Amino acid sequence: MAKRTLNVALIGYQFMGKAHSNAYRQVARFFPALECQPVLKVLCGRHEERVRAAAEKYGFEEYATDWQQVVARDDIDIVDVSTPGNLHAPISIEAAKHGKIVLCEKPLANNLLEAREMVQAVEQNGVKHGVFFNYRKAPAVSYAKQLIAEGVIGQIYHFRGTYLQDWIVDPNFPLVWRLRKEVSGSGVHGDLNAHIIDLARWLVGEISEVCGMMHTFIKQRPLLAESDDRLGGQASTQMGEVTVDDAAVFLARFENGAIGTFEATRFALGRKNYNRFEINGSKGSIVFNLERMNELELYLETDPEGTRGFRTIQVTEGVHPYVSAWWPPGHIIGYEHTFTHLVRDALEAISKDEQPSPNFHDGLKCQAVLEAVEVSANERRWVEVPKS
């Protein structure tokens, strides 16, 4: 039977544009049982020359510079939103109005109100929707989910999430879009806490109450000499205000009685992409660290006393989630595979006429936690997470 093809319009061609293009290109080759196959139709960005070069490099049929025209095209099935946060809501809502499947980067929106409007738009227009909380799709994380669901570590007491980077410690690092609230919504909070909040919700359960602190260490930075299109770029001698947080930490209570600590920073020298969680339950503990993403640490209290201790599982066996599609045991996979797995799952859901997971509802719930932490930090008190 001929496969159903889905034409993809990808808005944004840099970091995530590159990661998502790779996922759409690889997915059908490694997961041939999929009934839907993505087609790299059009890549969209603001700068004609750069987007043309990127389209050629990533293998798109066409390029474009006006996302509004792109999302209105009859021949587009999936709109992939890989832009900074200020465009997530406008592009997703417009795409939903045109009946497109919308797959959006995280955080879903720049604030809770926008996130609600996005959910309303996809629901009113009856379209499928997904959010790139890609770390769920690391085989070791999916396996942790399976172990927790099977009760292997028992009742969960603690979630301890840290997401540490160090790329803006230099005070001369320029004021890129990630440091400007009007573009990014928040700083490291929406960027990295969003990921660990999503993992915590998925692995442990809903968060009911938070108490947070957000801090900006360097309040002014050199303005960019040219466009802010890139992560880096040339710094000018003029200074501008940093309007977002550099570090964001919070305590959390889960609905099921577990408690959690969350820490995200861009000021942890030596930590590059240190996305680590530890979960302690009544029967054992589980530890994951993205920088060693093929491994999962597991401690079981039921092990014989003499040899009890954390074991390191190489999550590369055929029995582990996603792994059989790739290489023999021990032949490790990487960061980019998390996106391929997310796209695989989204396409499978779409072919079954189901909603992808994670989707805009997860994005909204995560946004509600993010916003409660901001309120808590501003007002210096515990805050209940609004029911989204």
| Nearest residue to 13 via CA among 127, 105, 109, 95 | 105
Binding of residue 214 to ligand NAD (CB under 6 A): no
Binding of residue 12 to ligand NAD (CB under 6 A): yes
Binding of residue 290 to ligand NAD (CB under 6 A): no
Parallel, antiparallel, or unpaired: how do β-strands 62-64 and 36-44 relate?
parallel
In the list 6, 8, 9, 16, the residue contacting ligand NAD (rule: CB under 6 A) is 16
Scanning 44-52, 116-124, 343-351, 360-368 for contacts with ligand NAD by CB under 6 A, the matching segment is: 44-52
366 close to 106: Cβ distance less than 8 angstroms: yes
Binding of residue 46 to ligand NAD (CB under 6 A): yes
Q: How far is the CB of 109 from ligand NAD (least distance, A)?
A: 10
Cβ closer to ligand NAD: 16 or 364?
A: 16
Binding of residue 363 to ligand NAD (CB under 6 A): no
Scanning 5-13, 323-331, 356-364, 377-385 for contacts with ligand NAD by CB under 6 A, the matching segment is: 5-13
Binding of residue 229 to ligand NAD (CB under 6 A): yes
The H-or-E segment that residue 383 falls in is strand 383-384
Q: What is the C-alpha separation between 341 and 138, in angstroms, rounded?
A: 8
Binding of residue 161 to ligand NAD (CB under 6 A): no
Binding of residue 128 to ligand NAD (CB under 6 A): no
Q: How many residues bind ligand NAD (CB under 6 A)?
A: 23
Cβ neighbours, 10 Å, residue 330: 9
DSSP per-residue codes, 63-96: EES-HHHHHT-TT--EEEE-S-GGGHHHHHHHHH
Cβ closer to ligand NAD: 147 or 364?
A: 364
Angle at 191 between CA 81 and CA 50, to 5 degrees: 45
Binding of residue 63 to ligand NAD (CB under 6 A): no
| Nearest residue to 29 via CA among 18, 38, 40 | 38
Binding of residue 57 to ligand NAD (CB under 6 A): no
Q: Which of residues 173-202 bind ligand NAD (CB under 6 A)?
A: 191
Q: How far is the CB of 46 from ligand NAD (least distance, A)?
A: 5
Scanning 80-88, 154-162, 208-216, 373-381 for contacts with ligand NAD by CB under 6 A, the matching segment is: 80-88
Binding of residue 345 to ligand NAD (CB under 6 A): no
Sign of CA dihedral 120, 40, 38, 84: negative
- Binding track over 231-270 against ligand NAD, x by CB under 6 A: x---------------------------------------
The H-or-E segment that residue 250 falls in is strand 247-254
Cα–Cα distances (Å) from 294 to 142, 284, 291, 321, 346, in that order, read 11, 20, 9, 12, 22
Cβ closer to ligand NAD: 60 or 67?
A: 67
Q: Give alpha helix (H) positions in the chain.
A: 15-30, 48-58, 67-71, 88-97, 112-124, 139-149, 181-184, 188, 194-203, 335-351, 360-379
For ligand NAD, the binding residues (CB under 6 A) are: 11-17, 44-46, 67, 82-85, 87, 105-106, 132, 134, 191, 229, 231
